[in-house]
């Protein structure tokens, strides 16, 4: 029995490793085509539409001013631009700072939400902002984001030149990547398992997940869908499924770049990543029961992938580790011997290789130092995800059983940043 469990768990792990290598290759090919040049998508398709940028903000005084300044520098006609800061029941100076910019810039608006419409989380804030917007296209940015000047322009052009696309998404980079070892881990994770995986999924399957920031959606579509799901902790993943199921597709365009701040302490990281894991688990559980009734079959594959990732893969890792550890003290008569050792070495080599391939597209990141960090990352940061996913599943089951409502799960911000605003 122990041998069967061990081999099954190893098979699950290897399926995931090979699949992610496949995605890295696709992401690399997608980058070569779209990462540096815009080709036909840079061609104007008539007058630019009115764009409303929604920035949900709850106690964001540390970063909101830098974000608003980045929005003011966007290369987009100001008479076709509407920046809406949703000050969602903040207890600090967020609203005051936003109001100061609104008083001197007519295209900047501030929506101050109060109970009972406030405090319901990011989805609730976005729904309130949508009510006060007028744009044909709705763009969303988190309160710690500094998009590059042409980011919104590129997102809009991607929609204008692709009538079947309901959403256009860009990529994000880490602005405080050199602040600590943790942020260096996150920077590598972001490049490899966020936007490179996005590029691979789009290249091979024409599937892209909406991120929480740096995306644009047609107003007609978000209204058709009834806005954002206020019960979802990961409103972006949940919205992705509904967009595909409505018959639209999502365009991934890495030339649209935003820079965002990432957690600089393990405590903040744990809280943020737990929310991410819980949100994705919520989406899987929400749509799993109607998996085969979904209209878009490609999203069925994606949901199975999420299920595989957040349930089977981590279960496989736990089982293999448990069997191996128990065998050190109790003879389980494992008939794996040198085979298991070779498979582990190959898995480690594959892990390092796929990350270094992904880092090679960012010339400043492909360094000997980052190679050493990747080696450490495998035994520390990556393993910590196993514990985190288990904990997140426990919290999500408890939320369902006790019918707890979603609220703000805001990531703590840090005043110090390691790079400039990256908006050129």
Q: Got the DSSP string for 28-62? A: HHHHHHHTS--GGGGS--SSPPPEEEEEEESS-TT
Provide the 10 A C-beta neighbour count for residue 285: 16
How many degrees, rounded to 5, is the angle at CA 215 between CA 213 and CA 219?
120
pLDDT recorded at residue 423: 47
Quote the CA–CA distance of 342 and 198 in Å, as a whole number: 30
pLDDT at residue 71 above 90?
yes
pLDDT recorded at residue 424: 45
Contact 23/198 with Cβ under 8 angstroms?
no
Looking at mean pLDDT, say which of 15-19, 38-42, 45-49, 76-80 comes out highest: 76-80
Query: Which is nearest to 185 in space by CA: 404, 326, 331, 374?
Result: 374
Range from 40-54, 234-248, 334-348, 368-382 carrying the lowest mean pLDDT: 334-348
Beta-carbon contacts of residue 297 (< 8 Å; ≥ 6 apart): none
CA 66 from centroid of its chain's CA atoms: 21
Specify the pTM: 0.85
Beta-carbon contacts of residue 251 (< 8 Å; ≥ 6 apart): 158, 159, 162, 165, 167, 168, 169, 202, 208
Quote the CA–CA distance of 166 and 175 in Å, as a whole number: 29
Per cent of the chain over pLDDT 70 is: 82
For the chain, the first-to-last Cα distance in angstroms comes to 59
pLDDT recorded at residue 419: 47
Range from 80-84, 106-110, 308-312 carrying the lowest mean pLDDT: 308-312
**176 DSSP assignment:** T
Quote the CA–CA distance of 330 and 419 in Å, as a whole number: 52
Quote the CA–CA distance of 260 and 172 in Å, as a whole number: 7
Quote the CA–CA distance of 168 and 138 in Å, as a whole number: 10
4: buried, middle or exposed (CB in 10 Å: 19+, 13-18, 0-12)? exposed
pLDDT recorded at residue 202: 86
**Segments making up each domain of the chain, as ranges:** 1-49+136-401
Give the mean pLDDT of 405-414: 63
């Amino acid at each position: 029995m122990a041998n069967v469990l061990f081999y099954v768990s190893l098979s699950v792990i290897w399926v995931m490793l090979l699949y992610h290598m496949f995605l890295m290759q696709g992401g690399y090919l997608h980058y070569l085509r779209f990462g540096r040049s815009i080709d036909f998508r840079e061609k104007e398709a008539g007058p630019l539409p009115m764009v409303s940028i929604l920035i949900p903000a709850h106690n964001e005084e540390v970063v909101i001013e830098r974000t608003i300044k980045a929005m003011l520098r966007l290369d987009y006609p100001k008479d076709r631009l509407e920046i809406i800061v949703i000050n969602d029941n903040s207890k600090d100076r967020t609203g005051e700072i936003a109001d100061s910019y609104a008083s001197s810039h007519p295209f900047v608006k501030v929506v101050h939400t109060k109970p009972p419409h406030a405090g319901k989380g990011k989805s609730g804030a976005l729904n309130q902002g949508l009510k006060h917007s007028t744009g044909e296209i709705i763009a969303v940015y988190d309160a710690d984001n500094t998009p590059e000047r042409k980011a919104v322009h590129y997102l809009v052009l991607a929609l204008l030149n692709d009538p079947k696309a309901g959403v256009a998404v860009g990529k994000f980079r880490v602005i405080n990547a050199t602040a600590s070892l943790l942020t260096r881990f996150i920077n590598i994770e972001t490049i490899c398992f966020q936007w490179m995986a996005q590029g691979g999924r789009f290249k091979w399957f024409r599937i892209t997940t909406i991120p929480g920031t740096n995306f644009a959606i047609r107003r007609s579509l978000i209204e058709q869908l009834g806005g954002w799901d206020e019960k979802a902790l990961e409103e972006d993943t949940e919205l992705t499924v509904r967009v595909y199921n409505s018959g639209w597709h999502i365009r991934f365009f890495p030339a649209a770049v935003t820079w965002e701040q990432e957690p600089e302490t393990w405590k903040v990281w744990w809280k943020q990543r737990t929310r991410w894991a819980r949100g994705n688990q919520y989406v899987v559980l929400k749509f799993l029961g109607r998996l085969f009734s979904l209209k878009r079959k490609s999203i069925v594959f994606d949901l199975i992938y999420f299920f595989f990732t957040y349930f089977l893969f981590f279960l496989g890792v736990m089982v293999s580790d448990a069997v191996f550890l128990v065998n050190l003290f109790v003879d389980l008569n494992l008939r794996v011997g040198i085979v298991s050792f070779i498979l582990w070495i190959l898995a480690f080599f594959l892990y390092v290789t796929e990350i270094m391939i992904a880092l090679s597209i960012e010339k400043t990141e492909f360094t000997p130092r980052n190679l050493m960090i990747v080696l450490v990352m495998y035994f520390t940061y990556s393993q910590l995800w196993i514990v985190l996913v288990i904990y997140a599943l426990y919290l999500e089951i408890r939320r369902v059983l006790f019918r707890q409502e979603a609220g703000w799960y805001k990531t703590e911000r840090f005043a110090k940043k390691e790079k400039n605003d990256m908006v050129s």
